[in-house]
Chain A
Amino acid sequence: MNQTMTLSHDLHRDDEASKIGMWLFIFTELLLFAGLFIVYGVYRYLNPVAFHLAAEELSVTVGTYNTIILLVSSATMAMASTAIRLKNKGMTLLLLGITLFIAFMFMVNKFFEWKGKFGHGIFPGSDDLLRLGHGDTLFFGLYFFMTGLHALHIIVGFVLITIVAVRVNNNTLTADNPVLLDNSGLYWHLVDLIWIFLFPLFYLIT
């Protein structure tokens, strides 16, 4: 009994294991999206004309803008990992703040993009979409599902980074234990990584 008491003081921590755990979760996420990319690829192969016409409905400008701001947020998140190690609390909070702001801006763009589509009568199960035919229904079904699932990841990332920022502010997350910040960063880069593939597939290739 005495031994456990003394051991509990010497709290074991393994940052490398935490990181590998995070990566294992990222692998499951990658496989989830890879499955969806295959579904997209197969349906595109089976309905080339409908996918070509439907993809032209999406705004390349909005897509490019969202891609660039998401890349910037990924860089600021990576820089926050450096800042915390340099024991620069102010810089860490600033970089996390910029990341959060960009995540918010991304969602605002997404909102207006989806709102525009809804306004044109394009949403899952709408009459207009049913009239357009099978291929368009598949394209927009996948568009809403995949960008929607990605947006859900943005929201989760936003919550995670907020928790990190609060803990950095409270001095409970410092240069001595930056693993939560690093793992949130890994998650945020995953969100960026998925968007890097979603962008050409839905917006660029018409």
Chain B
Amino acid sequence: MENNNESHIVPYKTYGIILSVLIVLTLISVAVTRIELASLTVFVAILLAAVKSSFVLIYFMHLKFDNKLLKALVAAVFILIALVMVVTFLDYNYR
């Protein structure tokens, strides 16, 4: 039987470390937005959210240990989303 099963087991400790990093990043983003930095606040909050989501994708969603095809597909979807956002905002900005 040719079952395509993975063998890699991620230790509990890895998930524990990633969880603490994510919680610290959440608290930082709350603290940063309390300070009035005007337009920079939005940028920092979105940047921290992007960093947090990468940790979730890479470790919790196991992408670090997945094959290249899946990594490329996920990257492609996020690039597509980013492009659509950039194009939409360019349109609204220069209208």
Contacts and interface: CB of A to CB of B under 8 A. Distances in A.
Contacts of B26: 64, 67-68, 71, 199
A45 B92 CA distance: 8
Contacts of B1: 10-13
Interface in A167-206: 182, 185-186, 189, 192-193, 196-197, 199-200, 204-206
Contact of A192 (B11, B56, B67): B56
Contact of A13 (B3, B11, B33, B88): B3
A14 B88 CA distance: 40
A23 B84 contact: no
Nearest to B88: A38
A54 to B, nearest CB: 15
B19 A41 contact: no
A37 B46 CA distance: 12
B92 A17 contact: no
A34 B84 contact: yes
A199 B69 CA distance: 31
Contacts, number: 124
A200 B60 contact: no
A93 interface: no
A189 to B, nearest CB: 5
A127 interface: no
Contacts of A192: 56, 60
Interface stretch (A75-83, A135-143, A152-160): A75-83
A193 B57 contact: yes
Interface of B: 1-6, 9-12, 15-16, 18-19, 22-23, 26-27, 29-30, 33, 41-42, 45-46, 48-49, 52-53, 56-57, 59-62, 66-67, 69-70, 73-74, 77-78, 80-81, 84-85, 88-89, 92
Given A13-B3, A204-B33, 20 more contacts: A13-B1, A14-B3, A16-B4, A27-B73, A30-B77, A31-B80, A31-B81, A45-B92, A64-B26, A64-B27, A71-B26, A74-B19, A75-B22, A78-B15, A78-B59, A82-B9, A83-B12, A182-B62, A192-B60, A193-B56
Interface of A: 10-17, 19-20, 23, 27, 30-31, 34, 37-38, 41-42, 45-46, 60, 64, 67-68, 71-72, 74-75, 77-79, 81-83, 85-86, 182, 185-186, 189, 192-193, 196-197, 199-200, 204-206
28 contacts: A12-B1, A12-B2, A13-B3, A14-B4, A15-B3, A17-B4, A20-B70, A27-B74, A30-B78, A37-B85, A38-B84, A41-B88, A41-B89, A45-B89, A64-B26, A71-B19, A75-B18, A75-B60, A78-B15, A78-B59, A81-B10, A86-B9, A182-B62, A189-B61, A200-B33, A200-B48, A204-B29, A205-B33
